[in-house]
Structures are given as C-alpha cells and as structure tokens.
Structure 1
Amino acid sequence: MPYEVQGVVAAGKGEPVSVRTVIVPDPGPGEAVVNVQACGVCHTDLHYRDGGINDEFPFLLGHEAAGVVEAVGPGVTGVAPGDYVILNWRAVCGNCRACLRGRPWYCFNTHNAAQKMTLEDGTPLSPALGIGAFASKTLVAAGQCTKVDPDARPAVAGLLGCGVMAGLGAALNTGNVTRGDSVAVIGCGGVGDAAILGASLAGAAKIIAVDIDDRKLDLAGGFGATHTVNSRTTDPVEAIRELTGGHGADVVIEAVGRPETYKQAFYARDLAGTVVLVGVPTPEMTLELPLLDVFGRGGSLKSSWYGDCLPSRDFPMLIDLYLQGRLNLDGFVSETIELDQVEEAFGKMHRGEVLRSVVVL
C-alpha cells in the first residue's frame, strides 16, 4: 500500500520550496523504500530549485541521506528491511563497458528507481539525483542503498552521500594523494574541506587552503589545512609556489568550478603535478589555456565524478574510520533543522554561513 509522507518540493524555477504531501509507491522489482532519518542541504539541491540542472519540475529535493530500509521489491538481495544505509546517486549496473573492465566507479549506466513518487493529484515528481530524501520516506533503486555500521549517527553518515564523499574522493581516489605530498585546495566550502580532510588522512605533508573568505579559511584548519591563503588579497599561484619551495603543489584540487580558479589550479601545480576538478561548472563556462603550457607542464588534468567513489567499497570504510575517531565528519554539520526550514538553509548556504545544514526527521 502506498505511503503518504511530507516532502520538500521545488514547484518552479527560482520559486521558494514548500512542504507538500508526497505519495511513495510500494517498491517494485529492484527497488527499496527507505525511512529517511537525516538529509543534508547541498548546493545541488539549490541548483535544482533554480533550474540550473534541468527543467523537469516539480522536484522532490534532498539527496545526502541516511536511514533504515522499510521495504524491498522482488529480486532485491543486497539489502533487507531493517538495514541502516547511506543513499547514493550512482547505483552501478555491473554490465556496461566500465563495469566489465573492473572500473565500476565510472559506470556509464547508473540507474534509479523505475517508479515515480507523486503529489496527491498524481503529478509525477523528479527526485533530486534520483533520491528525493527531504521526506520521511523515499523510493530508490536498491543499488542506491549502501549498508554501514548503525553506530554512526544519521546526520553525519548521510553527508557521505554527496558533497563530503566528492571532496574526500577527489583527494584519495582521483588525486591519489600519498604520504609526503604537497596539496592545495581552492575553494573551502563543504567539498573543499572534505578534500582537505582526505589529503590529511592520506598523510600529505603540506595542505594549503585557498578561499576569499577568512571564516572558511579558519574552518579549513580544523580539517587539516597547514597553511591558508586569502586569494582576495593575495595571488594564490604565487603564494602556493612560495609555500612549496618555488615549485608548486604536487596535487591541486579545484573545488569551485570556475575558469578563473581552474587556471589558478593549473599554474599552481608542480611540473608533472596533478590538477583535479571537483567543483561543478555551469553549462556556459568555457576555458582557454595555451596548448604549449598544457604540453610543457606535463602531469595530469583530471575531473572527479562523485570523488570516483564506489559506495559499496568507500562508505563502510569511511564510516569505520569515523567511528574510530580518525575522520572528522562531525565538523561538517553546522546545524540541524526541520523540513520547513530548508528554504532558510539555502540562504545561509548562499551567504557562506554554514558548511551543512542537516534536516533531521
């Protein structure tokens, strides 16, 4: 029998979100219904509300979530009712060319639930990143559920579902940061701070945080930054070079997603160093670089998709590290809020007042 719950819906481009009644169907083949316990407020939700991703309104927002499986559909074997899970937006298929080559983190055929959640009048909802977790229950593909240790509190665990994983993975998986490396991170929001945390976990010797906001730079120190640079008043390329013996950083992670900051990352790396783009650009942005510089500086220019993570591998490991006291995930939770405070949380996020507001249900 379908479930009737309250959820945060973006009805039209740029319109304030509202709490509406949402109908969640029983899970079909390969699907699961999850009781959402907590869900972070991510910039991606704001992009959906503002029409920056697509125009498939109305959207059911929310995707950085943890909760308990309520029910599963036919054929589901990986999770069962009662399992404590983190939701992810890349349920791998196991059959595409990436999966068959042993690189499922690049899966080219990720999928979501086949059925649609709806409003009371039957209007189908587009769930943000195929999740839609600003609701007490949501319908997802069973492969979007990753079992983790239930001792991790939901407000923290759910953040691995998107932004924190993207940043950690940009350092650990895409950037391959290793012991003794010098690392610079440009942009110290939630994703950038997670990249700093990942570099620290990997044993980087020097971690340089770059931002235009001193408040964010202060927070970056709590995640492992050894040096900070305010790029509003200081040339970040020159500062990073000065801090690395005139050479540039071994790995530079760009967590803003703008051509200007990407160029800074490109020129702030050492010869044969690595640039990782994890900040998400908008469709109209273009980049121009001298091709001779691209050739002459060598190294690697990489894009990080979801931190190149494999949820079944990475989520349980990271939660274990958190429970051991080795991974400061608590530092990302700036406040906990109710469903009807999401619009207010968007404003705080836009003004840079929080790393993450987390809806607790």
Structure 2
Amino acid sequence: MSQTVKGVIARSKNAPVELVDIVVPDPGPGEVVVDVEACGVCHTDLSYRDGGINDEFPFLLGHEAAGRVEKIGEGVTNVEVGDFVVLNWRAVCGECRACKKGQPWYCFDTANATQKMTLAEDGTELTPALGIGAFIDKTLVAAGQCTKVEESDAAAVGLLGCGVMAGFGAAVNTGQVERGESVAVIGCGGVGCAAIAGAEIAGAARIIAVDIDDAKLETAKKFGATDTINSKNVDAVEKIRELTGGFGADVVIDAVARPETYEQAFYARDLAGRVVMVGVPTPDLKIELPMIEIFGRGGALKSSWYGDCLPERDFPALVALYKQGRFDLDAFVTERISIDAVESAFEKLHEGSVLRSVVEL
C-alpha cells in the first residue's frame, strides 16, 4: 500500500521550496522504500531548485542521505528490512562497457527506481534529485542505491552520499595520493575539506589549502591542511611552488572548477604531477592553455566523477574509518535542522557560512 508523507519540492525555477504531501508507492521489483533519518543540504539541490541541472520540474530535492530499509520489492537481495543504509546515486548496472571493463565507478547506466513518487494534491510525477529525492520522510529508490553500512550517526555518514565522498575520492581514488607526496587543494568548502582529509589519510606529507576566505582556511587545518594560502592576498601558484621546493605539488585538486582556479591547479603541479577537477563547472565556462605546456608538463589532467567511488566498496570502508576515529565525519555537520528549514539552509550555502546543514527527520 502506498504512503503519503511530507517532502520538500522545487515546483518551478528559482521559486522557494515547499513542504508538501507526497505519495510514495510500495516498492516494485528491484526497488526499496527507505525510512530517511537524515539528509544533507548540498549545492546540487540548490542547482536543481534554480534550474541549473535541467527543467524537469517539479523536483523532489535531497540526496545526501542515510536511513533504514522499511520495505523491499521482489528480487531484492543486497539489503533486508531493518538494514541501516547510505543512499547513493551510482547503482552500477554491471552490464555497460565501463562495468565490463572492470571500471564500474564509471558506470554509464546507473539504476533508479522505475516507479515515480507523486504530489498528493494532483498526482503530478516528481523528478527525484540525482534519482534519490531524500528531503522526505520515506523515499523510493532502486535497491542498488542502498549501501548497507555499520550503524552510525545518520547525519554524519549520510554525507558520503555526495559531497564528502566526492572530495575524499578525488584525492584517494582519482588523484591516487601516495605516502610522502605533496597535495594542494583549491577551494575549502565541504568537498575541498573532504579532499584534504583524504590526502591526510593517504599519507600525504604536505597538504596545502587554498581559498579566499580565512575562516575556511582555518577549517581546512582541522581536516589536515599543513599550510594555507589566501589567494586573494598572494599568488597561489608561486606560493605552492615555494612550499614544495620550487617544483609544485604532486597532486593539485580543483574543488571550485572555474577557469581561474583550474589554471592555478595546472601551473601549480610538479612535472608529471596530477591535476584533478572535482568541482562541477557550469556549461558556459571555457579555458585556454598552451598546448606546449600540456605536452611539456606530462602527468595527468583528470576529472573526478563522484570521487570515482564504488559505493559498495568505499562507503563501508569510510564508515569504518569514522567509527575508528580516523575520519571525522562529524566535523562536516555544521548544523542540524528540521525539514521546514531547507530554504534558509540554501541561503547559508550562498553565504558560504556552512560546510553542511543536515536535515534530521
């Protein structure tokens, strides 16, 4: 039997979000209903609200979530009723060319629930953010979007569902930071700080945080930054080289994804170093680089999709690090809010005054 619960939607472009009644169907084959316990407020949700992703309104917002499996559909074997899970938007298919090449973190055909959640008022179908839609008491997802992890604080581990995993994975999976290497991270919001934490856990000897906000740079130190640079006051490229013996960093991670920050990352790396872009650029942005510089520096220019993560591999491992006290997920939770405070949380995102506001349900 379907359920009617409260959830947060974006009805039209740039309009304030609304808390409304939503009908959640019983799970069909391969689907799961999850009782959501907590969900982070991410920039991606704000982009959905503002029409920056697509125009498939109305959207059911929210995607960085954890909760408990309430119901399972026919054929579901990876989770059981009562399991504590973190939701993800990379439910790998196992059949596409990436999966068959042994690179499922690039899966080109990830799964979402087949059925749609709808507005109780008139039956309008909702588009769930990143195929999840978790600013809601209960949500319907594909079974592969549920990753069972050790029982934990949902507000903290739910952040693995997007931003924290993206940043951590940019350092560990995409950048492949090794012990003793130097790392520079440009942009010290939630994703950048997660990249810093990942670099520290991987054993980087020097971790340089770059931002234009001194408060964010102070926060970066808490996650493992050994040095900080306010690029509003000094030339970030020259300072990174100075801090790395004149050579540049082994790995430079751009967590902003603007032409000026990517150029900084490109020129701030050592010869044969790696540049990783994990920030998401808007479609209008372009950059020009001399081809001789691309050739002459060698190394690798990489983009990092969701931290190149494989949820079933990475989520349990990172939760284990959290439970051991080696990865401070609690530090990413700036505030815990109620479901009716999402719009004000978006304003704080604009201001850059939070790492994450987390809705607790």
- Looking at structure 1, the residues matched to 113 and 292 of structure 2 have their Cα atoms a distance apart, in angstroms, of 46
- Looking at structure 2, the residues matched to 323 and 75 of structure 1 have their Cα atoms a distance apart, in angstroms, of 32
- Where structure 2 has 5 or more consecutive residues not aligned to the other structure, the ranges are none
The equivalent of 1:63 in structure 2 is 63
- Equivalent residues, number: 360
The equivalent of 1:172 in structure 2 is 172
The equivalent of 2:23 in structure 1 is 23
- Looking at structure 1, the residues matched to 198 and 19 of structure 2 have their Cα atoms a distance apart, in angstroms, of 35
The equivalent of 2:88 in structure 1 is 88
SS in 2 for 1:322: helix
Is the counterpart of residue 12 in structure 1 residue 12 in structure 2?
yes
Measure how far apart 1:174 and its partner are. 0.2
The equivalent of 2:357 in structure 1 is 357
The equivalent of 2:209 in structure 1 is 209
- Looking at structure 2, the residues matched to 20 and 217 of structure 1 have their Cα atoms a distance apart, in angstroms, of 39
Is the counterpart of residue 181 in structure 1 residue 181 in structure 2?
yes
1:270-314: per-residue Cα shift (whole Å, max 9, x none)? 000000000000011111111111001100000000000000000
The equivalent of 1:286 in structure 2 is 286
The equivalent of 1:35 in structure 2 is 35
1:154-205: per-residue Cα shift (whole Å, max 9, x none)? 0001000000000000000000001000000000000000000000000100
The equivalent of 1:144 in structure 2 is 145
The equivalent of 1:2 in structure 2 is 2
- Looking at structure 1, the residues matched to 26 and 276 of structure 2 have their Cα atoms a distance apart, in angstroms, of 41
- Looking at structure 2, the residues matched to 189 and 304 of structure 1 have their Cα atoms a distance apart, in angstroms, of 16
Correspondences of 1:1-361 after superposition (within 5 Å): 1-120=1-120, 121-150=122-151, 152-361=152-361
Which consecutive aligned stretches of 4+ in structure 1 deviate over 3 angstroms post-superposition?
none
- Looking at structure 1, the residues matched to 10 and 235 of structure 2 have their Cα atoms a distance apart, in angstroms, of 40
Measure how far apart 1:108 and its partner are. 1.0
Give the AA of the match of 2:73. G
- Looking at structure 1, the residues matched to 54 and 150 of structure 2 have their Cα atoms a distance apart, in angstroms, of 35
- Looking at structure 1, the residues matched to 166 and 274 of structure 2 have their Cα atoms a distance apart, in angstroms, of 17
Measure how far apart 1:97 and its partner are. 1.1
Measure how far apart 1:102 and its partner are. 1.2
- Looking at structure 1, the residues matched to 221 and 2 of structure 2 have their Cα atoms a distance apart, in angstroms, of 47
- Looking at structure 1, the residues matched to 222 and 102 of structure 2 have their Cα atoms a distance apart, in angstroms, of 36
- Looking at structure 1, the residues matched to 3 and 214 of structure 2 have their Cα atoms a distance apart, in angstroms, of 46
- Looking at structure 2, the residues matched to 347 and 195 of structure 1 have their Cα atoms a distance apart, in angstroms, of 24
- Looking at structure 2, the residues matched to 135 and 42 of structure 1 have their Cα atoms a distance apart, in angstroms, of 15
1:43-80: per-residue Cα shift (whole Å, max 9, x none)? 00000000000000000000000000010111111111
Give the AA of the match of 1:129. L
Give the AA of the match of 1:2. S
SS in 2 for 1:78: coil
Measure how far apart 1:243 and its partner are. 0.4
Measure how far apart 1:100 and its partner are. 1.1
| RMSD of aligned residue pairs (Cα, Å) | 0.5
- Looking at structure 2, the residues matched to 110 and 264 of structure 1 have their Cα atoms a distance apart, in angstroms, of 33
Measure how far apart 1:232 and its partner are. 0.8
Give the AA of the match of 1:344. S
Measure how far apart 1:111 and its partner are. 1.5
- Looking at structure 2, the residues matched to 258 and 115 of structure 1 have their Cα atoms a distance apart, in angstroms, of 37
Measure how far apart 1:325 and its partner are. 0.5
- Looking at structure 1, the residues matched to 11 and 279 of structure 2 have their Cα atoms a distance apart, in angstroms, of 26
- Looking at structure 1, the residues matched to 331 and 80 of structure 2 have their Cα atoms a distance apart, in angstroms, of 31
SS in 1 for 2:273: strand
Q: TM-score, normalised by structure 1?
A: 0.99
Q: TM-score, normalised by structure 2?
A: 0.99
- Looking at structure 2, the residues matched to 77 and 112 of structure 1 have their Cα atoms a distance apart, in angstroms, of 16
- Looking at structure 2, the residues matched to 282 and 289 of structure 1 have their Cα atoms a distance apart, in angstroms, of 19
Give the AA of the match of 1:118. T
Give the AA of the match of 2:350. H
Q: Matched residues, percent identical? A: 71
Give the AA of the match of 2:170. A
SS in 1 for 2:242: helix
- Looking at structure 1, the residues matched to 196 and 320 of structure 2 have their Cα atoms a distance apart, in angstroms, of 19
